[in-house]
Structure formats: structure tokens, C-alpha cells
A and B are shown apart, each in its own frame.
Chain A
């Protein structure tokens, strides 16, 4: 009990940070699926691509940091849109093909990065503000505090965007009932392009927030994809609220595992979440697409 009390504040603070990191990793994947029912398995590749593009703008072209980030996000959004426009549009509706196709695009991006020499440990982008402060006796660096702020900002911005803008409302319309939305003049393909662009930019935003804590490496793309899928399956594919709840559940479960069980079971938590959800409630916490089958 004494030991537990000793780490309680650490668990609270770092559990919160881990949860927001998971939101940033999963937000793009969740948005794309929620709007267009497209499982974007190139999500992890777009994440690392943004990191490397930012690095190129910053280190090779000498742009200032904000400009490098904005341009990198714009490029990632364009690539996301292009993935739909030139590739996924041809296989839309064929779920297995969508998964395999988008994963293939992701592989192509990551292997191309390796091929162009982005290997090794020498790629990093700087933290926004260096230094750290104590929160209730727990020392936290500023980058992680910024991550929490960014996570909250993204959540609020997405809510405002989807509730108060014309494009956002049309995206919600497509997400709620595609046929009805099309009857009202909303172009399904156009919203899919927008959702892929938005989702890709969100993956990139996660990258520019998270990657400054360490370095950029191609392999991170696979890990990010696994976490994004774990969060979305647990929360329910397509449910933004489910994604938020699942991020907090997984984030705190992982932190508690590190604090009180063993560090190396941290990854098992994500895998166990996927397995248990698929066994007990395949639609996830707030997902709907399988509820009827589950009831049957």
C-alpha cells in the first residue's frame, strides 16, 4: 500500500500524458474511419513521413520551425487526399481490399523512406520549449505538457469543426447516413478526400508533437499503427467519443501496469485490449456497426 501511494501522483500525471499521446496517435485513424468507413492502414507511415518531411524543411532547407511544421502538415494532408483520389477510390466498398491496399501504400511510403537513406538514429526535431517543471512533486518536461494542451485543443477544435462549419456538418452527415447525405447533395467522394486529408494531417500533427521527445525512425510507423488500431477497436470503430474513452482506459492501464506489475507488460495491454474487445464486444465500447450481429 505504501508503495502504491508512492507512485500515485506519478501514475495520475503520466497516465494523463500517455492517454493524450494515444489520442494524438489514434485521432487521424478514427476520424477517417468515422467519416468514410475507410480503414487507413497507411496511418503509421504518414506519421513518420511527416516527421521526416519536417526534418528536411528544418535541417536541409533551413526553414523556421513553425513554417516547417505547417508545410509538412500540408504535404501530409495532400498525400492523404492523393491516396484516396488515386488509389482507394478504386477499391472503395471492398473492405479487405481497402485494408490491404492502404497497408500497401503505407509500406511503400516507409520502404521508400529507407531507400532514400532515412535509416539510423540521426534524425530528430527539437522540442518546442526545453525544460521541465514539477506538478505535485512529479517532474514533467514542457513538451509533454504541450502534448496534453495540444490533445485538448484538437478535441475541442474537431468538435467545433464538425458542429459549426459547413464542411464539418457535411462530414457528419456522410458519417451518419451516407445515402441520405448524398440525396441532400453532399458528395461522398469529396468528403472522403477531405477526411483522408484531415486524418493524415492529424497523424502528422501527432508526429510533430510526439517525435520531438526522441528521434524519428521508420519503425515507429508500425508501433503507431498498432496503437491507433488498438484504441479504435477498444473504443469502437468510427466513434470519436469511444476513441477518447479508449485512449484514457489504455493510457491509464498501461501506466498502472508499469507502476505496479511490470514495465514489459505495457505492450501486452494494447494487444490484450484488442483481443478482449473482439471476444467480448466486437463493436467496441461505443461502436455500432456490429451491434445487431452481436445481439443475434
Chain B
């Protein structure tokens, strides 16, 4: 009798479980990830994408209609960050991901703006949705989508563009430096590449409008290994603030020299190597007090939302390092944004998922609320995580990347180097 009851109970449980949890044996949803694999940007983006996919798959996958389907990642190397590699290489990779690997959606790159802009025509040709989550930080990409919506509507961006850092966040930081620390003299120092030169030009034009005096504007060549003269100029011109924008690894030399020369000017801006957790060790602590933008909160440890804290723990557990670079959080969230849209659409049909993505309103994400501008498909960035996606500026303090701006994300306060006092 007991055996019969136990058998009945097991059969009932099996039937109930079959009804509640849909089958996971369904065909996978293929995510094509174009990535510059020889570069840190590509590596970190891949890691964050894999983490999100593993988390989703461990919970049964993505619910498409009433079927749970696992995600499968197909990564291919676009090489678009390598010198001398033509854009056409990246386009071939995107097309191979779609045609050979059968990617249902594209998340990731190409990373370089010109490569991504060229790939936008492929997304139109194949009617494939692309969520770019790294690089491609030009306002021009969003404008292109808005100006030609019918053609480029398949493209979404979960990071934002450089205008947000320069025109929305930077003025607030400068205001804080002026009011709290009485700084008002700036020196612009940028790398000789298009995005950095543009940042330098905007800064040189806008700083006076924000009440700052610009006493110098240096553009250093890619690969430069000595910055002593430029730093001497900042000293002689009595600059109190250096606006720095660069992506070359040699920026570490600049920071070392800045410390050794005890240049009495606070350094802030975007400089790629400084974003990595290992930069303190690389510079032996000489990077203390420098301020760097990481584009999205979550790329440094914050507790801006409960998910942000969970994400950092999960990232450390999986990859044995804190989130690094400027696009781990956006790569991670892009997978969840897509999952959310597919589940609301209930199908993998491009038009249906596209319509769902346009209506995305994901609250409490790793870097706040995620919504897209209906015309440009660019993420809506705000200074409040309840209203939009959050950027993040951190300062190196005692070996840690301490988030200092926006206030909602801050885990510490800005400090001034002792030799400036």
C-alpha cells in the first residue's frame, strides 16, 4: 500500500513538474558575438556575455512562448582593433556568424565605430537584431539610426555615447572641483586618435563656458613613451586639472611620470589601462588619486542596485577578478535585455523582438534602469538609477577603484593628491 502511494506521489510530481517547467531540450538560441579577441575589450566582453548566458541557462534558459530554450554563444574574432586590418574583415565575421553559425541575434561588436557602422547595413540585409555593448561610442551612430530608422532599426546600443560623459557628467564633476576644491585651471592632454582628439576639442571649447581656464592643449602620438615635457608644461602653466583621454597602454608611463614629477594637477578622463583592477599593481600605486570614467556603473564594484552587488560577486567567482574595462556590465546586461525582450515577444521573430526591445523598461539592472530611445535605439542615460542607465567615474584610492560619481553610485568621496595641498 505504501509503495503504491509513493509511486502515485512520484508520478503526480513528475506530471506537475512537466506542466510547470517547460522542456529544456529545445533548440538553443544562438547569440553571435563579434569580438576583437586579441584585445582586452574583446576578452572582457566575452567573459561577461558567457557569465550572463551561464546564469540564464542554469535557470532553464529563455522562455520562448511556452518553451524554454538555452542560449548558445558563438564568438568570432573581428580583429577590428588591430592596426591595419580593414573593416571588411569585421564584416566577413559578422556575415559568417549569421550565415554559417546561424546566429539568431548579434550581441557585442564590432568594437570600432567605423566597423560597426559598416556592419549596420548587414544587419539590415539579414534582418538581424544587433545589441552593441562595447566600443562604438560615437554620437554619430545613434544619429545614423535616428536619421534612417527603417533601415537601421535593428541596431540597439546599451552603453551610450561620449556626449554623455562630456556634456552631462563632466560639467557636474568640474563644478564639484570648483566649489569644493577651488580648482579652475585645466590642461587638455589627449591621444592622437579620432575619439580622443574630438574629446580634447570639445573640452577645450566647453571648459571656458563652464568657468574654467584652459592653459594648454597637447595631443600626444599613439605609442609615445615619454610625457615629461608635456607634464612640465602643465606645471609651468600652473594647471590644476589635466583632462586626459587615451586608449593606449603607454598611458601607464604617463601616470608614473605624473606621480614622479609630482605634477600639482588632478588627472581625470578616460584612459583605458587605468580601468583595470590590475592598474594599481602595474603602476605600483602611482595611479593613486587619478579619476577615470568606466562608462557604465557595474564596471567597478558598486551597490547601486542589489543586482549590481550580485553581479560583482558572480563575476569574481567565475573569472577570479573584479569586473574590468568599460564594457563588462553592458555586455552582461545586453544578454538579459535580449532575454527580457524575447520572453515578452514570445517568439524569436525579428520584428516582434524588435518591437519588444523598443518597449524595454528593465528596472534595477546592474547599472540602473534600462530603456532605449525610440528613435535612435540608444540607451537612456541619467544620473539616477531609477530614471535611466548610470555612468560611473572612479578614483584610485588605496589600491581600490572607488566610485565617486554620480552621487547615487558613489562608494567614497573624491580626494586630492597631498602634493596639491
Contacts and interface: CB of A to CB of B under 8 A. Distances in A.
Interface of A: 6-7, 10-11, 14, 17-18, 21, 114, 119-122, 124, 126-127, 130-132, 138-141, 210, 213-215, 217-220, 222-223, 255, 258-259, 262-267
Interface string B197-220: 000000000000000000000111
Contact of A267 (B39, B83, B221): B221
B249 interface: yes
Given A121-B279, A264-B219, A215 B225 contact: no
Given A214-B253, A215-B282, A219-B249, A6 B260 contact: no
B17 interface: no
B278 A139 contact: no
B7 to A, nearest CB: 54
Interface of B: 38-40, 43, 83, 192, 218-226, 228-230, 232-233, 236, 249-250, 252-253, 256-257, 260-262, 272-273, 276, 278-279, 281-282, 284
Contact of B229 (A11, A140, A265): A11
Contact of B278 (A122, A140, A141): A122
Contacts of B257: 141
A6 B281 CA distance: 35
Nearest to A213: B253
A264 B224 CA distance: 9
Contacts of A122: 276, 278, 282
Q: Report which residue of A21, A119, A120, A217 has the largest number of chain B beta carbons within 10 angstroms of its beta carbon.
A: A120
Contacts of A214: 225, 249-250, 252-253, 256
Contacts of B282: 121-122, 124, 215
Contacts of A258: 229-230
A119 B225 contact: no
Given A141-B257, A258-B230, A263 B219 contact: yes
Contacts of A218: 38
Nearest to B255: A214
Contacts of A6: 236
B274 to A, nearest CB: 9
A126 B219 contact: no
A263 B186 CA distance: 18
Given A119-B43, A121-B279, 15 more contacts: A21-B226, A121-B278, A121-B282, A126-B284, A130-B284, A132-B261, A139-B262, A210-B225, A214-B253, A215-B282, A220-B249, A255-B229, A264-B192, A264-B220, A266-B220
A152 B26 CA distance: 70
Nearest to B272: A121
A121 B228 contact: no
B221 A263 contact: yes
A108 to B, nearest CB: 14
